[in-house]
């Protein structure tokens, strides 16, 4: 998360200096994730962050980007105690999703 704090603090200033190469590098650092984490706790956090920050407009587009199926992610996280809330566009602990 330190990268995100750095990005939010300094990126606008860098953009004002017209150093677009550095700005593009910071943008890539913030959004570059080659694969989804295998650990369910980190996976749910990463997916919720990417959806919250509007890096992807839906769970389906996020899964497409990482070459996986939404149902596979839902099944993995369901086993870990999470369910996807379409209304909130995030994974929530089972029982706190508003639908159970």
The model's pLDDT over 3-39, given as tens digits with 9 standing for 90+, comes to 444 444 444 554 455 555 554 544 444 445 678 899 9
pTM above 0.75, yes or no: no
Q: In this predicted model, what pLDDT tens digit does every residue of 44-97 receive, in sequence order?
A: 999 999 999 998 999 999 999 999 999 999 999 999 999 999 999 999 999 886
| pLDDT value for 8 | 45
What is d(CA 65, CA 67) in angstroms, rounded to the nearest whole number?
6
Report whether 61 contacts 21 (CB < 8 A): no
| pLDDT value for 20 | 57
What is d(CA 36, CA 42) in angstroms, rounded to the nearest whole number?
9
Question: What are residue 24's phi and psi, to 5 degrees?
Answer: -65, -40
| pLDDT value for 35 | 83
Q: Using the predicted structure, report yes or no on whether residue 2 has a pLDDT greater than 70.
A: no
Report whether 30 contacts 7 (CB < 8 A): yes
């Amino acid at each position: 998360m330190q990268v995100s704090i750095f990005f939010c603090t300094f990126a606008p200033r860098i953009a004002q200096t017209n150093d677009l190469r550095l700005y593009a590098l910071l943008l890539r650092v913030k959004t570059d994730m080659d694969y989804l984490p295998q650990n369910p706790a980190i996976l749910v956090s990463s997916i919720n962050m990417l959806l919250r920050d509007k890096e992807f407009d839906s769970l389906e587009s996020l899964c497409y980007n990482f070459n996986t199926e939404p149902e596979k992610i839902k099944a993995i996280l369901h086993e870990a105690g999470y369910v996807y809330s379409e209304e909130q566009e995030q994974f929530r602990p089972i029982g706190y999703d508003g639908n159970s």
